[in-house]
């Protein structure tokens, strides 16, 4: 198991604001890493810096052995990085199948091949009954699953999930937990931002915590839920020890 992604001192500034401040992170192949922190902590911006959406102001990123610090999102997708968006970004007037085909065209040129992969991915996420639905008509839960299917259709090595459980029902959250495990078991490494703590702690091999752009803690789920600084800045009193 090698290191798949290595972020070194990744920093992103917007005018006067340092949204991500010198973050170091190594992700091993096959891991599920949870990324938590208060709203505005810089979690999504960290994703954007890694993927090339907003290139880092400072620092470097290597992926699968290559320096990708200055690469575009398109190049990174080709290299095996895919993501979902906190606010879903579907092609609303296209069908579910067509949306996922867009992902498949990352590696394929043939329409029929892309359609085949897209079908497989829609079945993989459990949406075969909605294959030809117009995406704007789907529930948020289905739109989020579809975003995962579209990302998976690009055939990633690393999948970045930005709050894929937000707005889901408890049943959908359970299904998503199972789906994330199934994705990992299929050989994909996962970095996920999530506020649904029970689900995140269940899934993550390691959890990292951002606060005001700075990485304040890193550890196993049980270490993180007992970390005083993380409790103060994010988890809140529900996790405080009774004394
Ligand atoms: N494109 C942008 N331009 C200016 N400021 C931004 C931009 N994107 C994010 N920010 C700011 O960066 C900080 C971190 O935001 P974000 O990464 O979205 O946090 P999180 O995902 O942890 O809630 C916030 O203060 C936010 O307002
Ligand atoms: Mg965010």
What CA–CA distance (Å, rounded) separates 142 from 145?
5
Q: Which residues pair with 34 in a beta bridge?
A: 192, 207
For a mutational test of ligand 1's pocket, the pick from 12, 17, 192, 213, i.e. the residue with the most ligand atoms closer than 8 A to its C-beta, is: 17
Number of the ligand 1 atom closest to the C-alpha atom of 41: 22
Cα of 166 to ligand 1 centre, how many Å? 18
Which contiguous run of DSSP H or E holds residue 80? none
Q: At what angle do helices 170-185 and 140-153 cross, to 10 degrees?
A: 10
> What are the b/e assignments for 158-190, b being 16+ CB within 10 Å?
bbbbbbbbbebeeebbebbbebbeebbeeebbb
Q: What is the pLDDT of residues 152-184, one digit of tens each?
A: 999 999 999 999 999 999 999 999 999 999 999
pLDDT of res. 126: 96
Say if ligand 1 is within 6 A of residue 12 CB.
no
Q: Is it the case that residue 103 has pLDDT exceeding 70?
A: yes
Say if ligand 1 is within 6 A of residue 41 CB.
yes
Q: Is it the case that residue 237 has pLDDT exceeding 70?
A: no
Q: How confident is the model at residue 7 (pLDDT cuts 50, 70, 90)?
A: very high
Ion ligand 2, residue ranges at CB < 5 A:
43-44, 86
For a mutational test of ligand 1's pocket, the pick from 11, 12, 19, 43, i.e. the residue with the most ligand atoms closer than 8 A to its C-beta, is: 19
Tokens 């810096």 sit on residue? 49
Q: Is it the case that residue 242 has pLDDT exceeding 60?
A: no
Say if ligand 1 is within 6 A of residue 40 CB.
yes
Q: Which residues pair with 17 in a beta bridge?
A: 14
pLDDT of res. 236: 85
Task: Check: CB of residue 214 under 8 Å from CB of residue 22.
Answer: yes
Q: Which residues contact 73 (CB under 8 A, 6 or more apart)?
A: 51, 52, 53
Q: Which residues contact 66 (CB under 8 A, 6 or more apart)?
A: 79
Q: How far is CA 46 from the centre of its chain?
A: 11
Domain parsing of the chain, residue ranges? 1-80+158-243, 89-155
pLDDT of res. 235: 86
Say if ligand 1 is within 6 A of residue 16 CB.
no
Tell me the whole-structure pTM to 2 decimals: 0.94
**Which of the following CATH numbers is that of domain 1-80+158-243: 3.30.70.980, 3.40.50.1820, 3.40.50.1000, 3.40.50.300?**
3.40.50.300
> What is the end-to-end Cα distance of the chain in Å, rounded?
42
Number of the ligand 1 atom closest to the C-alpha atom of 46: 17
Say if ligand 1 is within 6 A of residue 111 CB.
no
Q: Which residues contact 123 (CB under 8 A, 6 or more apart)?
A: none
Indicate if the alpha-carbon torsion angle 38, 44, 49, 55 is positive or negative: negative
In the predicted model, what is the mean pLDDT of residues 122-132?
98
pLDDT of res. 129: 98
DSSP alpha helices (H): ranges in 125-169? 140-153
Tokens 């990633």 sit on residue? 156
Say if ligand 1 is within 6 A of residue 48 CB.
no
């Amino acid at each position: 198991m090698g290191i798949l992604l290595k972020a070194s001192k990744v920093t992103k500034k917007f005018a006067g604001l340092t949204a991500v401040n010198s973050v170091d992170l190594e992700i091993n192949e096959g891991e599920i890493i949870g990324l938590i922190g208060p709203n505005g902590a810089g979690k999504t911006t960290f994703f954007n810096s890694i993927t090339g959406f907003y290139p880092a102001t400072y620092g470097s990123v290597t992926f699968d052995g290559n320096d990708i610090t200055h690469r575009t999102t398109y190049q990174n997708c080709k290299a095996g990085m895919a993501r979902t968006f906190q606010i879903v970004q579907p092609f609303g007037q296209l069908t579910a199948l067509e949306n996922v085909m867009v992902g498949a065209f990352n590696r394929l040129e043939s329409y029929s091949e892309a359609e085949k992969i897209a079908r497989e991915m829609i079945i993989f996420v459990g949406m075969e009954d909605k294959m030809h639905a117009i995406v704007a008509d789907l529930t948020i839960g289905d739109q989020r699953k579809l975003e995962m299917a579209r990302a998976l259709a690009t055939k990633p090595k690393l999948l970045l999930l930005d709050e894929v459980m937000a707005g889901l029902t408890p049943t959908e959250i359970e299904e998503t937990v199972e789906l994330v495990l199934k994705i990992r078991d299929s050989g994909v490494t996962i970095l996920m931002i999530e506020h649904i703590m029970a689900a995140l702690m269940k899934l993550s091999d390691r959890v990292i915590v951002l606060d005001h752009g700075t990485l304040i803690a890193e550890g196993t789920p049980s270490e993180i839920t007992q970390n005083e600084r993380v409790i103060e800045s994010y988890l809140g009193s529900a996790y405080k020890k009774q004394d």
